[in-house]
Amino acid sequence: MYRGRFAPSPTGPLHAGSIFAALASYLDARAQHGVWLVRIEDLDPPRESKEAAADILRTLEALGLTWDEQVIYQSQRAAAYEEALARLDARKLLYACNCSRQKLSSAGTVYPGWCRDHHIVRGSATALRCQVGDASISFIDRLQGEYSQQLGRDIGDFIVHRRDGLFAYQLAVVVDDAWQGITDVVRGIDLLDSTPRQIYLQGQLGYPVPRYAHVPIIINAEGQKLGKQQYARPIERTQPGQVLFRTLQALRQHPVADLATASTDEMLAWAIANWKPQNLAGIRDLPEFEGSASPAV
């Protein structure tokens, strides 16, 4: 049984880029008669708000993207993440790291393992890193084809528990995808290079590996990812039909013109029946589309 999910971090209202990913994941699940879940990834309280989470859910509802089962909040899942850390620890994969931000930035993007053999005592100012050894991870993305990383060379030992005491995204996402029985992850291509780390953790924790499909991200005129950082305008809830129609066009589903004035339910029924994820194959980014920054009122 197909089980998919949309897993937004509640750092602000949904914008065109996140609605694009949400709709792709929803259509993929429904086209396969699957279950579609929403998980709020509220792991980082200083960057997030309760209002943003509520706002995201209201927007999904307005668009007709109804989810199954209960919404899961990662802020409630600390015990499960602790347990996963303990299992990694029992496998001797974890070590404490006290490298300063400055020192880390001198290393660039690959952590060279400085603290690996230092037996640093775990405490309030240390992160926990997971050793990757010489693991090579390769998988076939449904849209992007084969993707491989040699983790030691491309990433280095990576953080699973942050020095500020928060659980790392890579850990939480793997624990929750397994706990929720997710078979299919459909999400933005900005997370493609995280996937080998997640597959590695799934292996270490004895979890199944879901199928992955990484959809393009939406970029603005300057070539930056449309995201909260760029203050993409939130999508108004007052014009859900327009937003859906334009997002279907951006997803290259070629909605027939007649559909532009249909109800959201009719539009979604058409889109589920005609879902062609292959139209996005090999595409890494797409320009902002008409109405993505500010739907016409």
CB nearer ligand GLU, residue 11 or residue 249:
11
Q: Please report how close the Cβ of residue 8 comes to ligand GLU at its closest, in angstroms.
A: 5
**Binding positions for ligand GLU, 5-24, rule CB under 6 A:** 7-9
Residue the block writes with tokens 């802020």: 75
**Binding positions for ligand GLU, 132-151, rule CB under 6 A:** none
Q: Decide: is 173 part of the binding site for ligand GLU (CB under 6 A).
A: yes
Cβ atoms < 10 Å from Cβ of 258: 9
DSSP 139: E
CB nearer ligand GLU, residue 8 or residue 240:
8
CB nearer ligand GLU, residue 94 or residue 189:
189
CB nearer ligand GLU, residue 266 or residue 285:
285
DSSP 114: T
The one segment of 3-11, 29-37, 132-140, 263-271 that binds ligand GLU by CB under 6 A? 3-11
DSSP 111: B
CA distance 274 to 33: 13
* Coil, strand or helix at 205: helix
**Binding positions for ligand GLU, 30-49, rule CB under 6 A:** 41
Contact 194, 221 (CB under 8 A): no
Tell whether the torsion through CA atoms of 153, 157, 162 and 168 is positive or negative.
Answer: positive
Q: Please report how close the Cβ of residue 134 comes to ligand GLU at its closest, in angstroms.
A: 26
DSSP 12: S
Q: Decide: is 214 part of the binding site for ligand GLU (CB under 6 A).
A: no
CB nearer ligand GLU, residue 55 or residue 89:
55
Q: 238-241 long-range contacts, Cβ below 8 Å, gap at least 24? A: 238/297, 239/295, 239/296, 239/297, 240/62, 240/63, 240/64, 240/264, 241/267
CB nearer ligand GLU, residue 39 or residue 161:
39
Q: Please report how close the Cβ of residue 198 comes to ligand GLU at its closest, in angstroms.
A: 8
Q: Please report how close the Cβ of residue 145 comes to ligand GLU at its closest, in angstroms.
A: 19
Binding mask 175-194 for ligand GLU (x = CB under 6 A): ------------x---x---
- Total residues at the site for ligand GLU (CB under 6 A)? 7
Q: Please report how close the Cβ of residue 187 comes to ligand GLU at its closest, in angstroms.
A: 4
Q: How far is CA 247 from CA 11, 195, 237, 268, 273, in A?
A: 21, 25, 14, 11, 16
Interface ranges with ligand GLU (CB under 6 A): 7-9, 41, 173, 187, 191
